Structure formats: structure tokens, C-alpha cells
Amino acid sequence: MHALQRCIAPLCRATYDVSDVLTSCPDCGSLLDIDYDWDRLPVPSSMREFEARWSNRRNPLDLSGVWRFRDLLPFARDEDIVTIGEGQTILQQSIAVGGYVGMNPGALYLQYEGLNPSGSFKDNGMTAASTHARMVGAKMAACASTGNTSASLAIYASTTQVFKVVVFVGSGKIAYGKLSQALDYNARTLQVLGDFDDALQRVREVSGERGIYLCNSVNPFRLEGQKTIMYRVLEGLNWQVPDWIVVPGGNLGNSSAFGKAFAELKSLGLIDRIPRLAVINAAGANTLYQLYEERDVRWDGGMSDDDTINTFFAEMDASQHKASTLASAIEINRPVNLKKCLRALETCDGVVRQVTDQEILDAKAQVGAGGFGCEPASAASVAGARLLRREGIIAPSDRVVCILTGHQLKDPDATVAYHAGDRALFDAKLGTRGVEHATFANSPVVVDNNLQKIIEVLERR
């Protein structure tokens, strides 16, 4: 195998075997990358070569939207790969949502990752982490989750039976669609009395203590799988590079993976330029926005200003500030992939923005009306693109790809509260979070159980 794990810190760069189970550098504590010796690997001469695999879909590795690109994440032997047909998602143009964002007709595309087996993009990463877990013979895997990571890990464990699984969720705010998946896929589920950051802290400790394989996005193999979302975007554009990729930012695994994907493709000569990256925080969980846009923290070739970062977190702790947003998948105080995301922002000449829950839910309703249902966190990408369009940073003719990270049915409560037209329900669910109006509410109409009355109602609109 011509792959190894390498510390991302430029003054360390320690390397480790791919068969080691690590979530940080044992020497310095920094994050790890998977690094390849491309000169000794069969790299395709053009991305078009991947298209041939479409005709070979009876082979599960070619059916998978992750593993048909396996030459670009070559850390596993074919026989070790754990796949359940993830990543069969495609890029779709949306004139309706593009109009809402303020784009010219045809300039906006949605990469709808809700179509994955567990309903979120997380499956792209979990197939890679599960593969590595099998490579190292793990018997038990774990994750902390705001919901989608646990749903994803649970489906991989139950369909493949390669390992057992325990998931840690924060108490309280997990969306029911997601919790129901973990339970139904029979994952052992611990509701930690605390928030997501607490659950992640504990699962890292427990995993270290008990030799349990950790599947959060500190796992560098997971991010290898998530690179393929960008390969499919390029494929959807007939291998042309868009102007912008817009993605919600939570723990910042996706944005980190996207940056690595583009850096590698460029250095391999498979693309000739790199798109710009916009990472969108919820205003109620805006650590990256604060650090990057307000305090000018940059990757700086790996020499980022740790004093500013540490001061920020110390202030956050002192004020007992806790992330709070309806977009529960991105309700995170301390994004674990912060450094890698800063690196991706440098690679992709990136920007960071924050959007309110009001903007998120309005954008979500527009995504739904355009035929692509998504969960609240996903709509942050569309709300963010709209903001950048209004600011003039995105031009109406730019080619923009928004990532829709999770399916509409993950969190039906938020959707119904928004549309129902029931003020008490709205206030109870959304008003408490500063959402004032359902700008695009599509309320159900109550009607008597009577043909004449129904016809009257239908003629009214």
C-alpha cells in the first residue's frame, strides 16, 4: 500500500502506518491526513476514465458513488471495502432555487446528498471509516453525533455486521428522524446529559480507554470518503470546475475534505483550477465565522495564530456561551476540524458567512418548493449563497453549487412548525429561537367533511 497517515502540522509531519488506529498525532496532538505516494500508484490520466464504471454497476465497488473513485482514495484493498451503495447522488440544476438566491437561470446547482442510504452525506465518510475499521479488525465502533453520524454508523453496522456499535448523542435536541434511525438499526444508544461537544469529548475518552474504533470526523479515513462528493459535482458539470462550492459548516469535516480533494486533483493535473469555497455557519453556532472573518485567523502554512484561537475558546467558556440553532446538525461550539478547514479556505480562496435561523428556515422552504427537501442545516448553504449574492461576492452568472447535506424527513418537526399556520406551535418550536415569521408558509387548510365545502375552498385560491 502506498498510503500512510501524516500529521498536518508543518513542524511535525510525523507519519504513521495506515494500520494504526489514531485520531490525532501521538507526537504533537494535531490532526492527521491520509497521504499517498501518487508516483507509485495508478492515477487516471483524466477524470473521464471514471465514467466507464457506470456500465459496471453489478460490481458493488463500481455501484458506489464513493468507491468508483477508489483510485483517488487508495488506502484499502478491494476485498476490505465496506459498501452499502452510498454516494449515488447527482448534481441537479435548480432554476427555482437559483431565482431565490438571485442567480441567472441555470447558474445554481444543488448537490443533493439526502439521497444517501441513511439520508445524509455522512454515508460518504462512514463507508471509508467502516472500511478502515474492518482493515484493523475492529470489533466495536463508536461516534458522538447530533444525529446523522449515528444514523449512518448504525446503518453500516447493521447491514454489514462487521462490527458492533455504540452511539453517543447529546440529550434533548436530537431530531426524531435521526434518533429513530439509530434505534431502529439497533445501535446501542447513550444519551449523554450534555450537548454535542460534551458527547464528543466523552466518546473520545471512552474509545481511547476501551480500544473502541472512533468514527467521528477526527477520523482521517472518513474525510477520504467525503472527498468524492466533489468528484461527483465535477462529474455533474461534465468535469468543468464551478466558481463556488457552498457548504454548511458544523464540525468542518466536509469543508476540510473538499479542500483536500481539490488540492490533490490540482497537483495530479486532473483539474486546472480550484473553485472558491464558502462555509456557512448558523449565527447561533458561529465559531468559524468569528475566528476567520472577525479575528482574521488563517491557516498561514500551518502556523495559524493559536493564541487568538485559544483566547476565543477561553472567552467562550468564561461567558458560558453555548451554541444554539434550529439547525441542530451544525450546533457545535468547538469544531474539531478547525485547522483543516482553515487550510481548505486557503486552498480555495474561501469565505465564511453566518446566517440566522430565520434565513435558514426561509431558504429551506424555498428548497422544498423547488422539489429538493432538506433539513434545516442543509439550507444554510442556500441562505449563505443568497447572502453572498446580495453582497456582490457571488456574481449572478457564476456557477454555484450548494451542498444539500441531509434529507427533509430527518427533522419534520421544524418543517411542520414552520408551515402549519398554528401560531402556538410556531412560537413553541421556532419563536423561542428568534424566528419571527414563516415567510413562505404553506399552511394546511381545515375544511368540513363535505363535498360542497371542499369545492368552495378549492375555488377560493
Ligand X SMILES: *Cc1c(COP(=O)(O)O)cnc(C)c1O
Give the binding range for Zn ion (CB under 5 A) out of 19-27, 106-114, 137-145, 255-263.
19-27
Least separation in angstroms between residue 380's CB and ligand X is: 8
Find the binder of Zn ion among 1, 12, 22, 409 (CB under 5 A): 12
- Which of 455, 364, 369 is CA-nearest to residue 413? 364
What are the two backbone dihedrals, phi and then psi, of residue 412, each rounded to the nearest 5 degrees? -65, -25
Residue numbers 190-219 binding ligand X by CB under 6 A: 217
DSSP helix/strand/coil, 211: coil
Alpha-carbon distances of 271 from 48, 189, 274, 340, 395, rounded to whole Å: 11, 43, 8, 21, 22
Residue 339 sits in the site that holds ligand X (CB under 6 A): no
Give the binding range for Zn ion (CB under 5 A) out of 2-10, 168-176, 349-357, 359-367.
2-10
**Could you give the strand order of the β-sheet that contains 351-355, starting from the edge strand earlier in sequence?**
91-93, 108-112, 400-404, 244-248, 276-282, 351-355
CA dihedral 416, 422, 425, 426 (to 10 degrees): 80
d(CA 427, CA 99): 29
Residue 356 sits in the site that holds ligand X (CB under 6 A): no
Give the binding range for ligand X (CB under 6 A) out of 169-177, 231-239, 259-267, 374-382.
374-382
d(CA 244, CA 277): 6
What are the two backbone dihedrals, phi and then psi, of residue 393, each rounded to the nearest 5 degrees? -80, -40
d(CA 256, CA 18): 20
Residue 122 sits in the site that holds ligand X (CB under 6 A): yes
Find the binder of ligand X among 84, 133, 165, 329 (CB under 6 A): 329
d(CA 96, CA 458): 25
14 binds, among Zn ion, ligand X, none (CB under 5 to 8 A by kind): Zn ion
Query: Looking at beta carbons only, is 11 or 446 nearer to Zn ion?
Result: 11
- Quote the distance between the C-alpha of residue 75 and its chain's center: 22
- Which of 105, 200, 215 is CA-nearest to residue 151? 215
Reading the block at residue 369, the C-alpha cell is 418548493
Give the binding range for Zn ion (CB under 5 A) out of 26-34, 60-68, 148-156, 173-181.
26-34
Reading the block at residue 377, the C-alpha cell is 442545516
DSSP helix/strand/coil, 7: strand
Residue 297 sits in the site that holds ligand X (CB under 6 A): no
Residue 253 sits in the site that holds ligand X (CB under 6 A): yes
Find the binder of ligand X among 346, 359, 375, 398 (CB under 6 A): 375
402, 382 contact by CB (below 8 A): yes
Find the binder of Zn ion among 20, 28, 210, 311 (CB under 5 A): 28
Residue 254 sits in the site that holds ligand X (CB under 6 A): yes
Helices assigned H by DSSP within 120-212: 122-135, 148-160, 176-184, 196-210
Residue numbers 3-62 binding ligand X by CB under 6 A: none
Query: Looking at beta carbons only, is 14 or 393 nearer to Zn ion?
Result: 14
Residue 129 sits in the site that holds ligand X (CB under 6 A): no
d(CA 301, CA 276): 18
Least separation in angstroms between residue 338's CB and Zn ion is: 16
Helices 176-184 + 148-160 axis angle, to 10: 20
Query: Looking at beta carbons only, is 131 or 148 nearer to ligand X?
Result: 148
Q: Binding marks (x or -) toward ligand X, 376..415, rule CB under 6 A?
A: -xx--------------------------xx---------
12 binds, among ligand X, Zn ion, none (CB under 5 to 8 A by kind): Zn ion
252 binds, among ligand X, Zn ion, none (CB under 5 to 8 A by kind): ligand X
DSSP helix/strand/coil, 410: helix
d(CA 330, CA 282): 7
Query: Looking at beta carbons only, is 34 or 329 nearer to ligand X?
Result: 329
Least separation in angstroms between residue 12's CB and Zn ion is: 3
Residue 20 sits in the site that holds Zn ion (CB under 5 A): no
Query: Looking at beta carbons only, is 245 or 330 nearer to ligand X?
Result: 330
Which residues contribute to the site for ligand X (CB under 6 A)?
120, 122, 148, 217, 248-254, 329-330, 375, 377-378, 405-406
Which residues contribute to the site for Zn ion (CB under 5 A)?
7, 9, 12, 14, 25, 27-28, 30
